[in-house]
Structure 1
């Protein structure tokens, strides 16, 4: 029964997204819950991890290097090419570029978990890209847009600590002491995470209802293409380097899912409200596309050792 509910993750994500768009008043009052909800999911993800998982990842610098390079090369370039192809306005082009040059988002870790990917690798990629974005995001913005933007380094690091690091450490610690008990309830943790991320997606949709309603069709197409390009280039790039399917799908999700909330914040502060629309809509779409992928990939039976690249 639980497995059946989890397998319908894409359906729940789309259903509740539609409901949140029609009735945003049900979800908007819960906007303050997004951060604690994500932190709770990360805690339950941490419960399924061991210290050995992170030790293994640190022995594979090539994997992290490839993922970060793919993210900071493919996503900005895809934003540029898609914007030019669709003849988007300068303001929307800036918004697309900002989405492309920011670091990975916490939501990617959740989707990797639900897709049965390599969660420890995903968390490491997110933290690495976040730290590097302090230098890379302003430089890439200058390169593509012609204007540098300062990145809120301290705020980002605090956010990573609150939402990712501390909950995961607590979860791993609990697993260390109660491993046998926790192993019996892993399917329940997955179901709880799925329900929670669907609720988070619904809140995001409700908060951005006006943005969705006001944005043009071509821009929505551009955002879908941008996310798809990241997912595809991440998977194919990882495959080209010879990584196994579990690592390939992990890197695909981490490349295709961005910290679009930061892109919105930078657009509003340094550009125009219109430049913030791509980030706002991307924050919705990448969760929906991620849910669809997670639903598909979680059903795939794999016998690969994720410690091998």
Structure 2
């Protein structure tokens, strides 16, 4: 009878763990899908070519932060359990919560989604390489053998599929209202995932979290705080746009602490396990508090897409990513009209002319294009004139697919051209 009860208990425990994993992955998918579907495909295309910001973010996340973790472990002489777990935290890829932070506080969400996709792929190689170097150099442990690779690849698959499907939905539906609703879905999923993660990670060790030695609090906090400071110095020195600085800084220090938790559960037991589990738990608290304060300061310093004069509730509840996409689309359409008017006149048609059809202020795809001297080949719309008034690939792409439906958020909220110019847009 007792054996039967134990078997049932074990089966229920496994079922509960499975349900937790499925629920977590579903919320993760909704979060990343919502953030990706918020992004205008034209903005995404622009960020893919933003090599300076992307390379800076990858350097900070996969080179600087793991090095900071190693220096803290050696400098404070952290014990085996704490040191190994902290190295895993600082070597892990960034969490998808970074998209949520950029969405809530109006950083550059298109850049955040792009960096999440790229860093997720890079983590397949960079995570084991960093651990192979730093962990073995510090403690001579086989940390890589204790990684939960199936869970890691499932998480990577969820993130990549959510990004691709979100961008596809944004392009196919082609509506700013859809972008706005997708943003709400992502924000709701992000809040739900925070609550879910806090509940799932709660344990008896929580009560001992606040009775540690000072080296624990300083050691776990230092990589996050120092990484944030270094990221702001580097991105400012490289003269990235202000919202890009905020995004890269968030991507740099926000880590996926779940990987470190799984490693700790595999490697340690007893008191060492309690010490190890405290590291990702406290790091998660630190990054949430530090980034929350940082994002508010960045907003008040006019480093985000939301003007500092707006109320806190308006800033949190409004996706300025969508507003900026609509402003860019309107600017592209007006530029298209100017280009068309410049090529029209009473003179006889020549092969150099490029025609556009105008109806009620909209610019539709050109119905005649010719290749002639002074023309360049366009990926999406064929040749366009070079020189003043040349449309970017993103502008031509937006024009080729037609004008999006205006969202309700842009009707209620606007951003002055002067403020956009101050940010570099």
Same fold (TM over 0.5): yes
Q: Distance in 2 between matches of 1:138 and 1:50?
A: 34
Per-residue Cα deviation, 1:244-287 (whole angstroms, up to 9, x for no partner): 11111110000001121112223333456233431233234323
Q: Is the 8 A contact 2:88 2:260 kept in 1?
A: yes
| Counterpart pick for 2:207 among 193, 204, 213 | 213
What TM-score results when the alignment is normalised by the length of structure 2?
0.57
> Given the superposition, is the C-alpha separation of residues 297 and 212 from structure 1 closer, same or farther in structure 2, using an over 3 Å criterion?
farther
Q: Is the 8 A contact 1:117 1:246 kept in 2?
A: yes
Q: Distance in 2 between matches of 1:200 and 1:42?
A: 11
> Given the superposition, is the C-alpha separation of residues 58 and 192 from structure 1 closer, same or farther in structure 2, using an over 3 Å criterion?
closer
Q: Distance in 1 between matches of 2:19 and 2:254?
A: 23
> Given the superposition, is the C-alpha separation of residues 208 and 221 from structure 1 closer, same or farther in structure 2, using an over 3 Å criterion?
farther
What TM-score results when the alignment is normalised by the length of structure 1?
0.76
**Structure (1/2) with the larger helix percentage:** 1
1:17-96 equivalences in 2 (<5 Å): 31-32=20-21, 33-96=23-86
Stretch of structure 1 that moved more, 152-161 or 231-240: 152-161
Q: Which residue of 1 aligns with 2:254?
A: 257
Q: Which residue of 1 aligns with 2:237?
A: 240
Gaps of 5+ in 2: 1-16, 308-418
Q: Is the 8 A contact 1:76 1:100 kept in 2?
A: yes
Stretch of structure 1 that moved more, 126-135 or 227-236: 126-135
Say yes or no: does 1:201 pair with 2:194: yes
Q: Distance in 1 between matches of 2:177 and 2:118?
A: 29
Stretches of 4+ moved more than 6 A in 1? 305-308
Which has the higher relative contact order, 1 or 2, with Cα contacts under 8 A spaced 6 or more apart?
1
Say yes or no: does 1:98 pair with 2:98: no
- Number of corresponding residues: 278
Q: Is the 8 A contact 1:98 1:267 kept in 2?
A: no
Say yes or no: does 1:226 pair with 2:227: no
Q: Distance in 2 between matches of 1:113 and 1:47?
A: 12
Say yes or no: does 1:303 pair with 2:420: yes
CA RMSD of aligned residues (A): 3.1
Q: Is the 8 A contact 2:57 2:248 kept in 1?
A: yes
Per-residue Cα deviation, 1:6-55 (whole angstroms, up to 9, x for no partner): xxxxxxxxxxxxxxxxxxxxxx9984533212221222222321222222
Q: Distance in 2 between matches of 1:155 and 1:204?
A: 16
> Given the superposition, is the C-alpha separation of residues 180 and 200 from structure 1 closer, same or farther in structure 2, using an over 3 Å criterion?
closer
Gaps of 5+ in 1: 1-27
Q: Is the 8 A contact 1:201 1:287 kept in 2?
A: no
Rg larger in structure: 2
> Given the superposition, is the C-alpha separation of residues 181 and 254 from structure 1 closer, same or farther in structure 2, using an over 3 Å criterion?
closer
Q: Distance in 1 between matches of 2:198 and 2:154?
A: 25
